Structure 1
Amino acid sequence: MEAPRDLAFEAWTKPEHLSKWWGPQGFTSTFQKFELQPGGTWEFVMHSPDGVDFPNTNVFDEIVQPERIVFRHTVFPHFVAKATFEEINGQTKLTYRTVFEETEAVFEKVKTYAAPGAEQTLDRLEELLAQLVNRTSGHSQQ
C-alpha cells in the first residue's frame, strides 16, 4: 500500500476511516459500537446496494499498534481475522488472513462471496489511503 504504516493502521482503527471502506463495492456501514481494545466489541450493520442489511459482531483479541489487529467474527460466517502491517521503504505491506470455523461444505458456499468481497474491501482501503496521503502531503487540489 502506498501509505505509511501508521496511516494504514489508523485507517483500520478509527471509525471515521474504517466506516468509509469496510465492505464490498457499493456497501455502506453503520457502526453501533467500536471498542478498540482486547475483548472490545465492534458491532455494525453492512448495507448492501440492494437494501439488504447484514448485522456483524466482531470481538478484538489483539491490538498491537501499528503492527497487527486480530479479531473474531462472532456471527455467521464465523472466522478469526488477522491484519499485519509491515513498513517497507515508507510504504505498508498489509497481510490480511481469515481462518473460517465453518464446515468444509458451508465454507465452499461462503467463499464464493467472501473472497471477492474481501478483495473489493481492500481495494476500497487503497482508495481511501490514496485520499488520506494526498490530504496529509498537501497535494490535494483546492
Structure 2
Amino acid sequence: MSTTFRTSRQFAVPPATVFAAIADAARIARWWGPAGFSNRIAEFDFRPGGRWLFDMIGPDGTVYANESVFVTIAPDRQLVLRHLCQPHFQLTITLQPAAGGTLLLWEQTLDDDAVAAAVRHIVEPANEQNLDRLTAELAVH
C-alpha cells in the first residue's frame, strides 16, 4: 500500500514560468522545502535518470541529506522524481494551463503507509509551505 498527499496552487503566470523555477538549480535551492529551511545542492542533473543530491538545512542547523532521481521531465507540463532515501516517495508535479495562469498539482506518494501516518503532521503543512515559497520565488523573478 501507499499513501498520497495532495495539494494544489494557482499561479498567475504561465506553466513555462513555473517550470523554469523548478528546472534551475539556483532557483529551486531558494524555494524548495518548508519555511525556514535552506538548501545546499551538490548535484542537479536535470534530465530523466539524472540525480539530485542536496542537503536541506533546518532552522536549527540540522542537516538532512537528500537523494532523488528525476524519473520524468515533460517541459512546462510535469516533473516526476523519486526520493531514494527515507522517507521513500515519488513526487509528481503537474502544471496545467488555467485561466490567467497555471494550476500546479502536487502529489507526494509515500511507499509505506505507517511512515506516511507518522509524518502526516509534518508533510501536509510542509508541502503548503513549499508552495508558499515557490509563490514568493515567482513573484520576484
Q: Establish whether TM, by shorter chain, passes 0.5.
A: yes
- Partner residue, 1:138: none
Q: Partners of 1:105 and 1:69 in 2: how far apart?
A: 26
Q: Tell me, what secondary structure is at the counterpart of 1:17?
A: helix
| TM-score between the two structures when normalised by the length of structure 2 | 0.89
Check whether the contact 1:5–1:90 (CA below 8 A) recurs between aligned residues. no
Do residues 31 (structure 1) and 41 (structure 2) align?
yes
Q: Which amino acid aligns with 1:116?
A: P
Q: Partners of 2:76 and 2:70 in 1: how far apart?
A: 15
Runs of 5+ consecutive residues of structure 2 not aligned to the other structure: 1-10
The structure having more radius of gyration, on CA atoms, is 1
- Partner residue, 1:127: 136
Runs of 5+ consecutive residues of structure 1 not aligned to the other structure: 133-142
Q: Partners of 1:105 and 1:78 in 2: how far apart?
A: 12
Q: Which has the higher strand share?
A: 2
- Partner residue, 1:83: 93
Q: Partners of 1:89 and 1:111 in 2: how far apart?
A: 32
Higher relative contact order (CA 8 A, sep 6+): 2
Q: Which amino acid aligns with 1:75?
A: C
2:69 to 24, 42, 59: 59
Q: Partners of 1:85 and 1:18 in 2: how far apart?
A: 16
| TM-score between the two structures when normalised by the length of structure 1 | 0.89
Provide the aligned length of Structure 1 versus Structure 2.
131
- Between the aligned residues of both structures, percent identity stands at 34
Q: Which has the higher helix share?
A: 1
| CA deviation string 1:29-72 (max 9, x = no partner) | 00000011111000100000101000001101100111100010
Check whether the contact 1:61–1:71 (CA below 8 A) recurs between aligned residues. yes
Do residues 114 (structure 1) and 123 (structure 2) align?
yes
Q: Partners of 2:100 and 2:15 in 1: how far apart?
A: 7
The RMSD of aligned alpha carbons is 0.9
Q: Partners of 1:44 and 1:115 in 2: how far apart?
A: 22
Check whether the contact 1:38–1:60 (CA below 8 A) recurs between aligned residues. yes
Q: Which amino acid aligns with 2:31?
A: W
Q: Partners of 1:109 and 1:89 in 2: how far apart?
A: 37
